[in-house]
């Protein structure tokens, strides 16, 4: 990417988009075009068409999405499917119409089948049924990958798809019902400490294993791939390492300073037993993560404390 190129980061206020923006500014890019969700509803086809026609960005990072944890995904199934399809359809199509040089579509590890072999290779896409609780979101993201490939095949568009593992970091969502597992644990352990609670109860058995990547590491990977990768299909972005929910809870307990017990509500669902990304393709392309889980959670907790819960729930 040329240093004076006009760059549009869809979702620049979110955790991923803001991390990409920080990384690009650090690398010397200054020509950004941005709109908040109140200024531009990405679900509105005409509004997005008008935006691209007027601004004509050179490069697009598609980080905007309706996201949430297991409860939000299962509760708002229609919204997760409709909103995400609308957002990505509008941006990808209008990027083509306005002559964008390159677009990066960001998806999620939930695109893979529930019982796919571990670690998850890019080739496992569409080889089995999805996890039921987040199927609508996964279907939308799979459609985005296929749309990028279709526009590459038919129109010659240089559109690439990146599938991050579970993310956390600055500007995360700490909503008590709609957040992902790691920010949810940070909030619950913090509140339990503040309230002097004797125990924190966690959904499920604690046995499922998850992989976590610090969002600023993802931003570095996105920048690297935008500069160096131009292939169809998708690229996993992760650490290649995972941790059980129980051990994750123990780590968050340590970092937040909570001194009580941890209980597991086994009547609640565990979700997918394991989700570990195979990052061979990424490492062979020349990139590897560098922020350890303990370092990253410590930074995320400091960010949580600096903003306060009410701000974190925006």
DSSP characters over 174-204: --TTTS-HHHHHHHHHHHHHHHT-SEEEEES
Tokens standing for residue 137: 């979101």
Nearest alpha-carbon partner for 7 in 22, 21, 18: 21
Contacts 24+ apart (CB under 8 A), 34-40: 34/8, 34/9, 37/13, 37/64
Over 90: is that where the pLDDT of 269 sits? Answer: no
Over 60: is that where the pLDDT of 190 sits? Answer: yes
As a whole number of Å, the CA-based R_g of the chain is 19
Contact 230, 160 (CB under 8 A): yes
Over 50: is that where the pLDDT of 314 sits? Answer: no
Q: What is the pLDDT of residue 311?
A: 43
Average pLDDT value for residue range 13-18: 94
Over 60: is that where the pLDDT of 310 sits? Answer: no
Instruction: Report yes or no on 267 lying in a domain.
Output: no
The CA distance from 210 to 202, in Å, is 15
Instruction: Report yes or no on 143 lying in a domain.
Output: yes
Residues known to be catalytic: 137
* Residues of the domain holding 60: 7-171+211-240+276-292
Residue stretches of the annotated binding site:
11-17, 106-109, 141, 164-167, 180, 188, 203, 210, 270
Lowest mean pLDDT among 13-17, 150-154, 160-164: 13-17
Helices and strands (H and E) in the chain: how many: 10, 13
Over 50: is that where the pLDDT of 194 sits? Answer: yes
Q: What is the pLDDT of residue 97?
A: 98
Contact 101, 58 (CB under 8 A): yes
Share of the chain above pLDDT 70, in %: 98
pLDDT in tens, 98-120: 999 999 999 999 899 988 999 99
Confidence band, pLDDT 50/70/90 cuts, at residue 10: very high
Helix (H, G, I), strand (E, B) or coil at 53: helix
Q: What is the pLDDT of residue 70?
A: 73
Tell me the pLDDT of the chain averaged across its residues.
Answer: 93
Instruction: Report yes or no on 229 lying in a domain.
Output: yes
Tokens standing for residue 5: 């190129």
Instruction: Report yes or no on 135 lying in a domain.
Output: yes
Confidence band, pLDDT 50/70/90 cuts, at residue 309: low
- How many domains does the chain contain in total? 1
Instruction: Report yes or no on 197 lying in a domain.
Output: no
pLDDT in tens, 145-158: 999 999 999 999 99
Instruction: Report yes or no on 313 lying in a domain.
Output: no
The CA distance from 28 to 219, in Å, is 15
* CATH number, position 120: 3.40.50.720
The CA distance from 207 to 247, in Å, is 9
Instruction: Report yes or no on 100 lying in a domain.
Output: yes
Instruction: Report yes or no on 249 lying in a domain.
Output: no
Strand ranges inside the chain, DSSP E? 7-10, 32-33, 59-62, 102-106, 159-164, 166-168, 199-203, 209-210, 212-214, 234-237, 243-244, 261-265, 274-275
Identify which has the larger pLDDT, 145 or 203. Answer: 145
Over 70: is that where the pLDDT of 312 sits? Answer: no
Residue stretches of the annotated binding site for NADP(+):
11-17, 106-109, 141, 164-167, 180
The CA distance from 101 to 6, in Å, is 10
Over 90: is that where the pLDDT of 89 sits? Answer: yes
Residue stretches of the annotated binding site for substrate:
188, 203, 210, 270
């Amino acid at each position: 990417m040329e240093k004076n190129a006009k760059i549009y980061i869809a979702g620049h206020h979110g955790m991923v988009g803001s991390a990409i923006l920080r990384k690009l500014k650090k690398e010397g890019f200054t020509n950004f075009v941005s709109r908040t969700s109140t200024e531009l509803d990405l679900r509105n086809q005409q509004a997005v068409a008008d935006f691209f026609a007027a601004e004509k960005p050179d490069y697009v990072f598609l980080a905007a999405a309706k996201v949430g944890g297991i409860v939000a995904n299962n509760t708002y199934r229609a919204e997760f499917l409709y909103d995400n399809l609308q957002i990505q359809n509008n941006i990808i199509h209008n990027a083509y119409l306005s002559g964008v040089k390159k677009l990066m579509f960001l998806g999620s590890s939930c695109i893979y089948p529930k019982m796919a072999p571990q670690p998850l290779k890019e080739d496992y896409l569409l080889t089995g049924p999805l996890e039921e609780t987040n199927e609508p979101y996964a279907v939308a993201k799979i459609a985005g990958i296929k749309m990028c490939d279709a526009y590459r095949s038919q129109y010659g568009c240089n559109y690439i798809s990146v599938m991050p593992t579970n993310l956390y970091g600055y500007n995360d969502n700490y909503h008590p019902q709609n957040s992902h597992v790691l920010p949810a644990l940070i909030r619950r352990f913090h509140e339990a400490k503040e309230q002097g609670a004797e125990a924190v109860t966690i959904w499920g058995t604690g046995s499922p294993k998850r992989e976590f990547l610090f969002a600023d590491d993802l931003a570095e990977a996105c920048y690297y791939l935008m500069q160096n990768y131009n292939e169809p299909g998708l690229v996993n972005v992760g650490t290649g390492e995972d941790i059980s929910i129980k051990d994750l809870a123990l780590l968050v307990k340590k970092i937040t300073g909570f001194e009580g017990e941890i209980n597991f509500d086994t009547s609640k669902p565990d979700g997918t037993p394991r989700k570990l990304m195979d990052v061979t393709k990424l490492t062979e392309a020349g990139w590897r993560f560098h922020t350890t889980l303990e370092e990253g959670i410590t930074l995320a907790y400091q960010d949580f404390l600096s903003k306060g819960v009410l701000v974190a729930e925006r």
